[in-house]
Amino acid sequence: MIHSTAILSPESQIAPDVFIGPYCKVGDRVRIGSGCRLESHVVIDGPTTIGENNRFFPYTSIGLDPQDLKFHGEETFLTIGSNNVFREYVNIHRGTLGGGGHTRVGDHNFLMVMAHVAHDCIVGNHVIMANAATLAGHVVIEDHATIGAYSGVHQFCRVGVHGYVGGYSVVTKDVLPYSKTVSERNTRAFGVNSIGLERKGFTPDQIRNIRTAFRLLLQSKLNTAQALEAIRKEADFPEVQVLVDFIEKSGRGVIK
């Protein structure tokens, strides 16, 4: 179903069962997969590729030019997976040449009202971004992470797998996998997001192993390098190795 007031570019490719509501605009080089719904007043520009069964609520803005003063109309891309929900006023921008040229959003994500994904970001799968959560350019959000309402993530930062960022936080370093990280005046990690891990199916033993690693990392008097060495000796488990790998690859440092 395509409403009579919708404007579709002849260069767009839209699956036959896509629902396009009133006053939507689909631009050049946009591909929309089967089962998607554009409720009303949705704007999608290209080059953008969208998978299946995504739902776009009114006034979402998808695939427009990046907010980067160095951008001068170069060809850049946005790719969105399947089974995502984008609530009202969500906006996602295409990439920039300086950042690789490609913004990517995975599958089964839920972006609430006014969430913003800037140029060259990579958002994994099963991610929740609450109201007005904001990603600056070049941010990586790993699978099953949650970004609380009105939180901002600085450029080039990462949020690790199953990481939880509390509302109104300012993130200027990498957020540890499995952690609960919240800022008041200073952003700090407050231990393991154990309730979230239980809900995701982690066993008590796995959560205990992660807690042991966090105790060495956050509560001992060891520096980060010493803590990692201690973790390797005392908590050498697959779920903990995820944490170790994340810290070792951090370019901006991690929030402790």
State the distance between the two ends of the chain, measured CA to CA, in whole angstroms.
51
- Which residue is catalytic, options 137, 152, 166, 196? 137
137 part of the active site: yes
Geometric angle at alpha carbon 6, from 3 and 7, rounded to 5°: 145
- Indicate if 65 belongs to the active site: no
**H or E element in which residue 85 lies:** strand 85-86
Q: What's the rounded Cα separation, in Å, for the pair 145 and 179?
A: 10
Compute the residue count for the chain: 256
Q: How far is CA 116 from CA 13, 61, 79, in A?
A: 25, 10, 15
Q: Which of 41, 93, 119, 138 is catalytic?
A: 119
Q: Is 120 a catalytic residue?
A: yes
**155-160-161-167 Cα dihedral, nearest 10 degrees:** -70
Catalytic residue among 68, 107, 120, 174: 120
Could you tell me where the beta strands, DSSP code E, fall in 120-210? Answer: 122-123, 128-129, 134-135, 140-141, 146-147, 152-153, 158-159, 164-165, 170-171, 179-183, 187-192
Catalytic residue numbers, as ranges: 119-120, 137
